[in-house]
Amino acid sequence: MQPTASENPQETASPSPQSQRAGERGLRYGLRDGACQAVTQGSGEQYLSAFALLLHASPFQLGVLSALPQLIGTGAQLVSVKLLHWFPHRKTLIAAGTVGQALSWVPILLLPLLLPEWGPWLLVGGAAAYFACTHFTTPAWNSLIVDWLDQHERGAYFARRAQIVAVLSFFALCGAGWVLSLWQDAAAWWGFVLIFALAGSARLLSALALTSVQDRQPSIPLESQQGFRRFLRERATKDFRCFLLFSSLMHASVLVAGPFFVLYILRDVQLSYFNYGGWLAASLLGQLLTLQTWGQFGDRFGNKALLAVTSYMVPFLPMLYLVSTNLGVLLAISFLGGVIWAGLALGLQNYVFDSVRPDDRTKAIALYSTVNAIGWSVGALLGSWLVGHLPARIEWAGIVLQPLSNLPFVFFLSGFLRLLVSAGLLRTFHEARQVERIPRRQLLWELPLVKPVTQFVRWASPKPDR
């Protein structure tokens, strides 16, 4: 049996005061980087698909915009892991990738303007460069931050960071939507100039925040320098391999619908940029209100339990878009999605950290990102094929379903595939560390929003007369 992360002496040794101060600086950088990343995501990444629609991108091009940059980014991540063995200066690699992200916004914005007839494809190329730089930093960044964290603090720390990301992304999304709404009818390109410039500037600030961080530069055991195949065959547990299969297929199922929500919201429902930003922000609000509780849930009951709960909730989210096109309903669905995805994303990330040795983390993170990107790409391309072939009207047994387009049917199929993945693969892997065990029914009462709402209802209910 292979030892897990908790059995590694590096994680149990008491740090010196100097090392503790360096660790505090590293963790503070992680939070500041999260703040800068939030601005970039909220004012940049989240509006790439909207920019593609401005450039008259087709559904197929939207699918490629979601798929190809992730695949190229994963290749950059694998290169980064190899490079860490020859050049183990994680700060330098992180800084190079972060600056590259900032500069990538220049071709994303300018090339489609200079050659508008090739605009959607040039946007895909610029996005590929951006995500290549993003993925290039991922193994080194995660390895650097996790080195300063105790295994039982990861959930709380990453939940806190995700909360910061959610808060600032919320305001960045709303602000960017407001800016774009000023040019909704004319010269819309200028709105994208402003928000993409802000996105690039935020990444430069993140690179500056890195300068005060100290890198441990730990020695890497010889066996950890072996290739990915040998890692999967000899050092990775069966649970981790099954987890990778689950994660990749879940991402594939999700991306059957993922790239086309923007098409449905802006083209079919015809929301304004401001309302579209509000729809995106509702999801972030759901994350913000529940991330800390999800982190505590994972630390206490295990990340497998966290995945088990959220993986059976996430299939029903896209199905709800068949219910109504009312703005209030769409906002409620987006909010609920933020609540559920906050837990699922946190559980997926932290399960990787729990299930491998510390010196294998960079390789494990790269493999995790690789299988997710493959699933991401397959799902996005399958979704674009379904958009072109599914009917917009279904009549069966006297029941007629005719939404605004065929996209809600694509969303429904995405949910059904998610349910199949959860039912088929969740039982194939287990919790990677010792956690508290409680009955399933009691576990449900510990979910975010459930426990406080239940306590409030009990408090507000009239008391029987005695």
Question: What is the distance of C-alpha 141 from the center of its chain?
Answer: 15
Bridge partners of 395, per DSSP, are 400
Burial 119-148 (b: 16+ CB within 10 A, else e): bbbbbbbbbbbbbbbbbbbbbbbbbbbbbb
CA dist 205 and 135 (Å) reads 18
**Assigned domain for 385 exists:** yes
DSSP letters for 341-397 = HHHHHHHHHHHHHHHS-GGGHHHHHHHHHHHHHHHHHHHHHHHHHHHHHS-S-EEET
The CATH number of whichever domain residue 402 belongs to comes to 1.20.1250.20
Closest CA to 408 of 277, 261, 250: 261
CA dist 439 and 448 (Å) reads 17
- Give 249-299 pLDDT, tens digit per residue: 999 999 999 889 989 998 899 988 888 888 988 988 888 888 888 888 888
CB atoms within 10 A of CB 377: 23
Give the three-class secondary structure for 400: strand
Domains: count for the chain: 1
CB atoms within 10 A of CB 396: 7
**Assigned domain for 234 exists:** no
DSSP letter assigned to residue 401: E
Interstrand relation of 394-396 and 399-401 (parallel, antiparallel or unpaired): antiparallel
**Assigned domain for 86 exists:** yes
Predicted pLDDT at 221: 47
Amino acid at 383: G
**Assigned domain for 221 exists:** no
**Assigned domain for 397 exists:** yes
Predicted pLDDT at 226: 58
Predicted pLDDT at 2: 36
Query: Residue 12: is it exposed, middle or buried by C-beta count within 10 angstroms (0-12/13-18/19+)?
Result: exposed
Predicted pLDDT at 152: 65
Predicted pLDDT at 11: 44
Predicted pLDDT at 4: 40
CA dist 288 and 291 (Å) reads 6
CB under 8 Å to 466, separation ≥6 — which residues? none
Measured between alpha carbons, how far apart are the two ends of the chain, in Å? 60
Predicted pLDDT at 329: 94
396 phi and psi, to 5 degrees? -150, 125
- C-beta of residue 56 within 8 angstroms of C-beta of residue 119: yes
Bridge partners of 394, per DSSP, are 401
**Assigned domain for 233 exists:** no
Q: Which residues of the chain have pLDDT under 70?
A: 1-26, 88, 150-152, 154-155, 184-187, 214-228, 440-442, 445, 449-466
Amino acid at 406: N
CA dist 161 and 28 (Å) reads 10
CA dist 289 and 127 (Å) reads 30
- C-beta of residue 105 within 8 angstroms of C-beta of residue 198: no
**Assigned domain for 37 exists:** yes
The domain in which residue 452 lies consists of 20-216+239-456
**Assigned domain for 247 exists:** yes
- C-beta of residue 285 within 8 angstroms of C-beta of residue 333: no
